[in-house]
A and B are shown apart, each in its own frame.
Chain A
Amino acid sequence: MRILPKEIETLWTLFTAPVVWALHFLVCYVGAAIYCAKQDAVDFGFGVVRAGIGAVTVAALAMIVLSAVLAWRQWGFGTYDPPHDDPTPHDRRRFQGFATLLLSGLSFIAVVYTAMAALMISGCFQ
Chain B
Amino acid sequence: MAIAGALIWAAVIGTLIYATRERRRVQSEHAAGLLILWGGAIIPALLLGLLLGYALWLMPDIRPWSAPGEPAGLRIEVEGEQFWWRVRYHPADGPPVDAANEIRLPVGERVEFTLTSSDVIHSFWIPVLGGKMDMIPGRTNRLTLRAAKTGTYRGPCTEFCGTSHALMAFSVVVMEPDAFRDWLADEARPSPGAGAPGGELFIANGCPACHTVRGTEATGAVGPDLSHVGSRETLAAGIMPVDVEAIASFISKPDAIKPGAQMPAFGMLPEADIAAIAAYLEGLK
Please, what's the 1-or-0 string for A102-126, where 1 marks a CB less than 8 Å from any CB in chain B? 0001000100110011011111011
Report the tally of A-B residue pairs with Cβ distances under 8 A: 26
Q: Is the CB of A112 within 8 A of B49?
A: yes
Given contacts A81-B29, A105-B41, contact A117 B56 (CB under 8 A): yes
Q: B60 is contacted by which of A109, A112, A120, A126 (Cβ under 8 Å)?
A: A120
Q: Is the CB of B45 within 8 A of A109?
A: yes
Residues of B contacting A117 with CB < 8 Å? 56
Tell me the residues in window 48-97 of chain B with beta carbons closer than 8 Å to chain A beta carbons: 48-49, 52-53, 56-57, 59-60, 63-65, 68
Residues of A contacting B33 with CB < 8 Å? 81
- Count chain A residues whose beta carbon lies closer than 8 angstroms to a beta carbon of B: 14
- Which residues from chain B sit less than 8 Å from chain A, CB to CB? 29, 33, 41, 45, 48-49, 52-53, 56-57, 59-60, 63-65, 68
Q: Is the CB of B59 within 8 A of A121?
A: yes
Q: B56 is contacted by which of A81, A109, A120, A125 (Cβ under 8 Å)?
A: A120
- Interface on chain A toward B: helix, strand, loop, or mixed SS? helix
Bound-state CA distance A117–B52 (Å) is: 9
Residues of B contacting A112 with CB < 8 Å? 49
Residues of B contacting A113 with CB < 8 Å? 48-49, 52
**B33 to A, closest residue via Cβ:** A81
Shortest beta-carbon distance, A87 to chain B, in Å?
22
Q: Is the CB of A119 within 8 A of B56?
A: yes
Given A113-B49, A116-B49, A120-B59, output 7 extra A-B contacts at Cβ < 8 Å.
Answer: A81-B29, A113-B48, A113-B52, A120-B57, A122-B60, A123-B68, A125-B64
Shortest beta-carbon distance, A113 to chain B, in Å?
6
User: Nearest 5 pairs between A and B by C-beta?
Assistant: A120-B56, A109-B45, A126-B65, A120-B59, A113-B52
Q: Is the CB of A125 within 8 A of B65?
A: yes
**B29 to A, closest residue via Cβ:** A81
Bound-state CA distance A81–B57 (Å) is: 41
**B56 to A, closest residue via Cβ:** A120
**B58 to A, closest residue via Cβ:** A120
Shortest beta-carbon distance, A63 to chain B, in Å?
20
Residues of A contacting B49 with CB < 8 Å? 109, 112-113, 116
Q: Is the CB of A116 within 8 A of B65?
A: no
Q: B52 is contacted by which of A116, A121, A125 (Cβ under 8 Å)?
A: A116
**A120 to B, closest residue via Cβ:** B56
Residues of A contacting B48 with CB < 8 Å? 113
Bound-state CA distance A126–B56 (Å) is: 19
Residues of B contacting A105 with CB < 8 Å? 41
Residues of A contacting B52 with CB < 8 Å? 113, 116
Bound-state CA distance A112–B48 (Å) is: 12
Residues of B contacting A123 with CB < 8 Å? 68
Residues of B contacting A119 with CB < 8 Å? 56
Tell me the residues in window 53-92 of chain A with beta carbons closer than 8 Å to chain B beta carbons: 81
